Structure 1
């Protein structure tokens, strides 16, 4: 359903997405990648991680996963 959005002012956005009205095409404006070993992102109280030997492969053979250059 079409919608009209009046003038707005956004001073800052600390992460997240802002959409107004209908959305025909959404594209990311930034992309990032993180590599971490087993148990690295555990959160909470009383974490007990026994992973033994752990190895993380950070090699990226395809170089670019999602091109962001054209999303201006």
Structure 2
């Protein structure tokens, strides 16, 4: 259903964001990321007690090219 939209001010849009005004059938933002994290990095909660004596994160990526996000429609 058509809508009447007034003034819209966009300050910034992220690299994998979508800004839409009006009717739309399908919106598919596509992005990819590679995250390296060590032991205990994503722990959340109240009163955590975490002990990591020796921890190492392997960040070596020998393949050079990862799977792309093309053909994901």
Cα distance in 2 between the residues matched to 1:56 and 1:68: 25
**Greater relative contact order structure (CA < 8 Å, 6+ sep):** 1
Unaligned segments of structure 2, at least 5 residues: 3-9, 17-23
Please tell me the root mean square deviation across aligned C-alpha atoms, in Å: 3.9
Number of aligned residues: 63
| 1:1-72 mapped onto 2 (5 Å cutoff) | 28=30, 30-68=31-69
Q: Deviation of residue 51 (structure 1)?
A: 1.7
Cα distance in 2 between the residues matched to 1:43 and 1:64: 32
- TM-score (norm. length: structure 1): 0.53
